[in-house]
Amino acid sequence: MAETENKASEQFDVFERQSAVLEEQSEQASDRELEQQDWQNRVERNAMRHVANLVGNHADRTDVEYQKARLERVILVGVWSSYETTQTQAEESLRELAALADTAGAEVVDGLLQRRDHPDAATYIGSGKAKELAQMVESNDADTIIVNADLPPSQRRALEKLTGIHVIDRTAVILDIFAQHATSREGKAQVELAQLQYMLPRLRGWGQTLSRQAGGQSAGQMGGIGSRGPGETKLEMNRRVIHKRISKLKADIAAMEPTRRTKRDSRRRNDIPTVSVVGYTNAGKSSLTNALTGSQELVRNALFATLDTAVRSAKTRSGRTYAYADTVGFVSDLPTQLVEAFKSTLEEISSSDVILHVVDASSLDVDAHISTVNEILADIDGVEQIPRLLAFNKVDLITQAQLHRLKELYPDAAFVSATSGVGIEQLQHAVEALLPRPHVRVDVLLPYDAGALVAQVRMAGQIEQLDYEDEGIHLQAFVGDSLAAKLLAASQ
Ligand X SMILES: Nc1nc2c(ncn2[C@@H]2O[C@H](COP(=O)(O)OP(=O)(O)OP(=O)(O)O)[C@@H](O)[C@H]2O)c(=O)[nH]1
For ligand X, which is the closer residue by CB, 140 or 301? 301
CB atoms within 10 A of CB 312: 19
What is the Cβ-side half-sphere exposure of residue 69, based on CA atoms within 13 angstroms? 26
> CB-wise, 293 or 306, nearer to Mg ion?
306
Could you tell me the sign of the dihedral formed by the alpha carbons of 413, 418, 420, 421, in that order? positive
393 binds, among ligand X, Mg ion, none (CB under 5 to 8 A by kind): ligand X
294 burial level (CB within 10 Å; 0-12, 13-18, 19+): exposed
Residue 171 marked as a ligand binder: no
Nearest Cα to Cα of residue 288 among 329, 237, 319, 338: 329
Residue 274 labelled as part of a binding site: no
Residue 93 assigned ligand-binding role: no
85 belongs to an annotated ligand binding site:
no
Q: Is 56 a residue that touches ligand X (CB under 6 A)?
A: no
Calculate the CA 489 to chain-centre distance: 47
305, 323, 354, 446: residue in contact with ligand X (rule CB under 6 A): 305
Measure the CA–CA gap between 492 and 482, rounded to whole angstroms.
18
CB-CB contact of 183 with 304 (8 Å) = no
According to DSSP, the residues that pair with 392 across neighbouring strands are 359, 415
CA 219 from chain center: how many Å? 24
Query: Closest distance between Mg ion and the C-beta of residue 276, in Å?
Result: 13
CB of 303 to ligand X, least distance (A): 5
Q: State which of positions 321-380 bind ligand X (CB under 6 A).
A: 329
* Closest separation in Å from C-beta 382 to ligand X: 23
Cβ atoms within 10 Å, residue 219: 18
Of 105, 119, 224, 284, the one binding ligand X by CB under 6 A: 284
Tell me if 303 contacts ligand X by CB under 6 A: yes
Cβ nearer to ligand X, comparing 164 with 421: 421
- Is 88 marked as a binding-site residue? no
Q: If we measure between CA atoms, which residue out of 38, 31, 157, 98 comes closest to residue 282? A: 98
Q: Is 167 annotated as a binding residue?
A: no
Q: Is 270 annotated as a binding residue?
A: no
Q: How far is CA 134 from CA 125, 208, 342, 474, in A?
A: 12, 19, 36, 81
Site string for Mg ion, 297-336 (x = CB under 5 A): --------xx------------------------------
308 is in an annotated binding site: yes
Residue 6 in marked binding region: no
Residue 301 counted as an annotated binding residue: no
Q: In what order do the strands lie in the sheet with 166-169?
A: 11-12, 107-115, 73-80, 144-147, 166-169
Kindly report the CA angle at 234 between 231 and 238, in degrees rounded to 5? Answer: 140
Partner interacting with residue 304 (select from ligand X, Mg ion, none; CB below 5-8 Å by kind): ligand X
The answer to whether the CB of 358 falls within 8 A of the CB of 277 is yes
- Residue 456 binding partner per list Mg ion, ligand X, none, with a CB distance cut-off of 5 to 8 Å that depends on partner kind: none
395 is in an annotated binding site: yes
In whole angstroms, the minimum distance from the beta carbon of 467 to Mg ion comes to 45
Shortest distance, position 286 Cβ to ligand X, whole Å: 3
Distance set, CA 214 to CA 206, 207, 456 (Å): 12, 11, 56
Give the C-alpha separation, 429 to 316, whole Å.
Answer: 8
Instruction: Tell me if residue 13 falls in helix, strand or coil.
Output: coil
**Residue closer to ligand X, measured from CB, 51 or 397:** 397
Can you state the percent helix, strand and coil of the chain, rounding each to 5? 50, 15, 30
Task: Please identify, using beta-carbon distances, which residue of 306 and 309 lies nearer to Mg ion.
Answer: 306
CB of 59 to ligand X, least distance (A): 11
Applying CB under 6 A, the site for ligand X has a residue count of 23
From the list 286, 309, 363, 372, which residue makes contact with Mg ion (rule: CB under 5 A)? 286
Site membership for ligand X, residue 300 (CB under 6 A): yes
Quick check: 397 binds ligand X (CB under 6 A)? Answer: yes
Q: Which does 282 bind (CB under 5 to 8 A by kind): Mg ion, ligand X, none?
A: ligand X
Residue 230 contact, options ligand X, Mg ion, none, Cβ 5-8 Å cut-off depending on partner type: none
E-strand ranges in 71-217 read 73-80, 107-115, 144-147, 166-169
Give the binding-site size for Mg ion (rule: CB under 5 A): 4
Residue 335 or 480 having the CB closest to ligand X: 335
Q: How far apart are CA 313 and CA 323, in angstroms?
A: 4
The footprint of Mg ion (CB under 5 A) covers: 285-286, 305-306
Annotated binding residues, as ranges? 279-286, 304-308, 326-329, 393-396, 417-419
The footprint of ligand X (CB under 6 A) covers: 279, 281-287, 299-301, 303-306, 329, 393-394, 396-397, 417-419
Annotated binding residues for Mg(2+), as ranges? 286, 306
